[in-house]
Structure 1
């Protein structure tokens, strides 16, 4: 394997940024690939920190290294025989419907293809679903209803050449920072207008010329009002509709019914609505970007179609700078959909409810067990496990015990299921705790295959290091299991490239232009071509020499009549409303520097420093009503369960609404997981759960003491009511709170340094072994104020000096180090709030550009720019932005 430069793709969001990995004297170095069309060399904070997480995985006990059965290490032969034996026994005794796979957008397309072929094609069960159900299913359903296929018509260039970009339910600046950079540049250079449609103020507000802070769940009413306005303004392109679209009159009829009450339904100023409608009406080059704020809803599919209706009515689909544009949450959510990874799909965009498609795939695979009909979607799948209808579940590269709604039921289901198989890269997740069989998989940097990003661009993920221990590729594991089950001839691939070629051939099999997804030209490529693959956009049918940038610009759609469909959709309020018992609506979402349940990003000290704890973001008036103060702990309670979060009071939240982050699990916190709060309400079309509209109440979580615990060891903290773990380089930091004195095990071999002040209820304690600091504990009635940077640095010292010991017990850093850099603001360049404030205070007037020149903050991915502006607004009376 060459170690000069490896071109690969980022494993995080659906932007699909290209990376160049190279070998330096002290290890691997990651940079943005200037030749990759998705990012053109740009990276976000998570991508820039990838090597931090790779190094953290390599050191310590993070990775799952060997196959395990019933908690005991076994050989791969025994593990594969055990998996195959259990699946075969379940199949023989209970039939194929008793077996299910729950997979992930973290898998490569080749892995996804094998999983789908094994379960649907040869075991004969339709019950394979993916965590993409939690983020993209409503878009899939909306696209299929409107266009006839799961197709994103646009490409990233459209953000740069549009005159109006509308962000709907998308915090682009945090969730897709590289796209936000491209949009920010267009705004600066071309004067692109930006409308943000989001219930709360976010980092993306900094991009917006107009922010419509609508009531959660009212998107359909807003876009139905727009459609009715387009009609009254004579702005509908009736010639285009006549030739290319059906359903206009029915859609208009229902839109008019919503249009009269838009301001009241959405809770918006009529003047702001009028401005938005006028801008859309008079701006032909308009791109509407939508993401999880639209999808994660009990009416998500209708929201998608309400948006697309406005674009179809004006002929703005697939044209340069003019299109609806769904941006994806995961790196390979689209690749998984291409191979049928959802329960309501078949491979190569075929339909399980179409007998001709079922027969076609059955013949191609020579898989007589393949049957028609849809499988169970994620929420229903775990209910079926809980009810005993599914007896064997294989989980791959995801953590449903944390990420799914109704988390308590999910855990009960995992606990009682007779066979749980988990393939993962890490050795500890909430879901892995329930596994009877654990299989070590290859991770990013080790895997070989492809992913598809939000603009239909297929790129290669290439390995640049060997997997640790006995980790193996997911496709290899499944193929070996298939062989033992008796299906070996259909799973006899030797490389990922061979799987991709089969996938490509299937995409063109009896297609004749009927299916939008077609990469048949790659079915004729050689292994060397696959190895050298450059990023391309599908479709790329047989004979094509390049991919397709935009879809449907010619007005020919994928429905059998070649026409798109407008849908008659009405505003229907969310299933649950605020009530006297649960007066607040909780909105869930991502933090800038974290990813999913933090199994990767949580290993990075710099990524953990921006938001080290899960915060309850709440409006000042609601905080006052609940008697909550900034920095206190609060209990968040829904009908399903509760969580405990740190209070952050902000007027970015509207009164009556709170925001809670999705990332924390039981391995990283005592009570920070929010899955227990979320009800299993799902969209009736897509099956996607509602996670943006959760009625809750909040109340103070009162404890006798608060603490900070720094340690280099593992500890059982289960008796402590509140704890959250943060990586800090040489040690881990735990925020603690409780009533009884904490009992910390695992330190009996250490010398103890102790200081206690009973009058003030203060305890400071340190554990030292052979002169080196092992752990330090600080307790007080309120959160202890201690220099985290200074204290964390002590753990890197080979020996503590007498002065270090004295300062530890005094809880006081040296004067020269007393001022921490503060909470991280710019993760790309590790710049904290205190340094930015100090830099601003040292000059009579200081701009964002000045801060960038002097500290580097804001000169990386740019997602911290709104935060820097806010700091400067409070730090100096005159600031040039």
Structure 2
């Protein structure tokens, strides 16, 4: 039975902070049919490649279905009883600050609210922090310093109305593709100019009018120069400045900064400044390249200074816009999920705020000082100050800086609880207690996106096994710790109403966040709640902030902050001469616990890599497709070399998605130093230092299999395919019996084997099969293996002939490596369309094949491919 007769359910995508609406329908076989919601104001039906593939990620594969205690199956009563008693005992013996929660932007707002209430109101510690600390804490700090609260001033509609969009430290085309499509639509409709400010040339640069490849960490100097030019050009809004403080000191600091530290030619800086100055409607979109810095808060304020000084804020087509990395990073900020905040943008250091929240909750205690932020929290776990730790929906053993040390700290913690949907993560494997939580499409609640729009996530699939919602798990632990009345919740709607009522304190204390109009929302109205932008009060709904020139500091004015350039915390030196930049890929998400389940998402870039400038590679003796070892003061990694001029000499880029489950040598955050911004506590993930050297492997391998491959070599990377798995392998020590190794890898000791080997050359090819059906194939060579990987990935489980050649038969088309993940279009298919005369432009490729017509994030890659074809044809 299929689900075609079932109604569609409106929900929200669980990936980035764009907050796209989706329409979901169970397919009757445990999966989902889905499409973008054409009526949702964030995306109007568009989805990125990850969102389009969500239906492939909801099965039971790798799901945690029952509680586990000390590695053994348990039941909820026993597991929750143990969690409550161990936390209570630890608090009684060592005080409330001996325990901590580390939570996630994957939580729904109602989950976040209960976690924050339990820790801050009833345990009495502020030791609750979130992985959002790693992505947007500097933006929070910058907002608070400038505006008095963590206020996002504008809306997505400002992108549509802008005449200039400046992307700062944001590869919007890959990380927020649906918003990037709005930028491109504005360019097409109104000629909007696009400037990208990023040390690396990314996909976002393909459509830009200007790319400023500044030195890592030098954003403050660039925006200080912009402020100086705005002053010298008479572009300041003196009327608006009358509603601010700090301009004179800020301008003095800007004059004292040296723009040459950006590494940009003065003429290019001045060209950018001139464009910004003469364009009234400017939107500055910034993300991790700004936030993930030891001077991240200052970078944010340098941007805000320029908008405040010119009055380009709070008006249509104007303003700064921080785009968040997770679906509910904003919701976590609103409920006080950060260690230095109370709920509803109230301040933990303010006695009146604390008293009001304590009285509202009827709580026994509220901490009077911030708790430990993420980096300090795990240091406290490591040195024994934190003795009981609860980690919810995040994987800090991989994603935190100095990840090896964090992994070891969690392993040594006396009591660790992990709530997640799978036990197969680096962090879950360290837990004393594992609690099975519901996943996206099984969860019911709300999220808030990057422009303050609250949307519903709705459950359309039943919870599998014994999985429970996070709010329910947290509330039950609260009741078992003795706080029955405070956590006697029966539904997320009830929690939302309480949260909305609490938000009235925001208005009482002159704050921005207030959704008190929802305090009496009925269960039925909660069930049908449409997307709405906060604030939502009796007198106001949504809109922009600051057009009225009223801010949230005690005097009602904004503050311009005098900031000066500071270099990254880590200094390059002869031992570590390269600057390491880390980031995301188009088709993967965080540590791949969800996207890694999708074969089509894995097909684009299935292996971890390091981008290295060709000049650096030549000097170091590194050839294309070699493996390289990156070494930093805190760790090492082995990755595939990608030689490209998208990075400048002296810089290396590596993605952050691979884990001990998928490529243990490529856990890139093990190399990232735990240097943090002194204001925000956000780690500097874009400017660590490393050494680069060739990894001298004795052999290289490529394997495909119908089942998971038992990998254990010095280097390996595993990815799913539609027919099973594929893996890259390499080792420093020779292996004498390759057929025996293949049988071990594929767990097929009795399978029939077909093989060819040249032991003198170090070449071997082995295919294992049963009754002619391929179980697995292994290809080994003394250099990176030259075979048709995308074709071979289709072979397991079939009766394919000529597998040993590593090439498809002449009558079998090979689409090649995937370029467009939305529609599975490979590079060879695009080349064939071009060479046959069917397509001579990106648009024509889209018309002929569909590639690039959905989220559009592959269009830069298609354009590069077309250019290479033209260059090759011109040279022939």
Q: Normalising by structure 2, what TM-score?
A: 0.96
Q: Name the structure 1 match of 2:13.
A: 10
Aligned-pair CA distance for 1:841: 1.1
Asked if 1 retains the 8 angstrom alpha-carbon contact of 2:833 and 2:839, the reply is no
- Does residue 577 in structure 1 map to residue 571 in structure 2? yes
Q: Report what 2:793 is aligned to.
A: 792
Residue aligned with 2:793, SS: helix
Unaligned runs of at least 5 residues, structure 1: none
Return the offset for 1:766.
Answer: 2.5
Distance 2:137 2:465 in 1: 36
What does residue 313 of structure 1 align with? 309
Task: Quote the Cα distance in structure 1 between the aligned partners of 2:678 and 2:438.
Answer: 36
Asked if the contact 1:840–1:876 (Cα under 8 Å) also holds between the matched residues in 2, the reply is no
Which of the numbers 662, 670, 688 marks the counterpart of 2:656? 662
How big is the shift at 1:603?
A: 1.0
Q: Is the 8 A contact 2:401 2:670 kept in 1?
A: yes
Alignment of 1:582-621 (within 5 A): 582-621=576-615
Deviations 1:54-106 (A, max 9, x none): 2xx33x4x111100011111111111111111111111111111100000000
Moved more, 569-578 or 446-455: 569-578
2:408 — aligned with what?
Answer: 412
Q: Could you tell me which of 517, 523, 527 is aligned with 1:521?
A: 517
- Give the structure 1 partner of residue 846 of structure 2: 852
- Matched residue of 1:12: which SS? coil
Q: C-alpha displacement at 1:484, in angstroms?
A: 1.1
- Does the 8 A contact of 2:582 with 2:653 survive in 1? yes
Give the match for residue 143 of structure 2: 143
Structure 2 residue aligned with 1:251: 250
Which position in structure 2 is the counterpart of 1:773? Answer: 774
Matched position secondary structure for 1:838:
helix
Contact preservation (8 Å) 1:425, 1:442:
yes
Distance 2:378 2:838 in 1: 60
- Counterpart selection for 1:703 from 683, 697, 707: 697
Matches within 5 A, 1:548-563: 548-563=542-557
- For each residue in 1:644-675, what CA deviation from the matched residue of structure 2 results, as whole angstroms up to 9, or x when unmatched? 11111111111111111111111100311111
Say if 2:425 is the partner of 1:429. yes
Please report how far the alpha carbon of residue 877 of structure 1 lies from its aligned counterpart in structure 2 after TM superposition.
5.3
Q: Is the 8 A contact 1:845 1:878 kept in 2?
A: no
2-structure distance, mates of 1:302, 1:648: 33
Which residue number in structure 2 is paired with residue 824 of structure 1? Answer: 818
Q: 1:765 to 1:879 in 2, by over 3 A?
A: closer
Match of 2:622 in 1: 628
Residue 722 of structure 1 is matched in structure 2 by 715
Counterparts of 1:509 and 1:847 in 2: how far apart (Å)? 56
Q: Report whether the alignment pairs 1:154 with 2:150.
A: no
**1:48 and 2:48 matched:** no
Aligned to 2:500: 504
Structure 2 partner of 1:180:
180
After TM superposition, give the deviation of residue 25 of structure 1 in Å: 6.8
Which residue is equivalent to 2:34?
Answer: 30
For residues 107-506 of structure 1, the aligned pairs below 5 Å read 107-242=107-242, 244-258=243-257, 261-262=258-259, 264-506=260-502
For the residue of structure 1 that corresponds to 2:728, the secondary structure is strand
- 1:452 Cα offset (Å): 0.3
CA positional deviation for 1:485: 1.0
- Mapped pair 1:751 → 2:752: yes
Using the alignment, how far apart are the partners of 2:391 and 2:506 within structure 1? 33
CA contact (8 A) 2:398 2:426 kept: yes
1:704-760: CA deviation from partner (whole Å, max 9, x where unpaired):
111111123344423x00100111112100101113327425322433333322243
The one of 680, 685, 706 aligned to 1:712: 706
SS in structure 2 of the partner of residue 486 of structure 1: coil
Q: What's the offset of the Cα at 1:164?
A: 0.8
Instruction: Give CA-to-partner distance per residue, 1:157-211, whole Å, 9 cap, x none.
Output: 1111111111100000000000000110111111001111111110000121111
Structure 2 distance, partners of 1:378, 1:272, is 38
SS at match of 2:234: coil
Deviation, structure 1 residue 24:
4.7
Q: TM-score, normalised by structure 1?
A: 0.96
Q: Matched residues in 2 for 1:325 and 1:396: separation?
A: 28
Q: List runs of 5+ in structure 2 lacking aligned partners.
A: none
Displacement of 1:845: 6.8
Moved more, 704-713 or 770-779: 770-779
Distance across 2 between alignment mates of 1:767 and 1:196:
50
For 2:610 and 2:238, locate their aligned partners in 1 and report how far apart those are by CA, in whole Å. Answer: 48
CA 245–721 in structure 1, closer or farther in 2 if over 3 Å, else same: same
CA distance, structure 1, for counterparts of residue 805 and residue 756 of structure 2: 8
2 CA distance for matches of 1:730 and 1:431? 28
Give the distance between the partners of 1:759 and 1:387, measured in 2 at CA: 53
Shift of 1:770: 5.4
Instruction: Point out the more displaced range, 514-523 or 742-751.
Output: 742-751
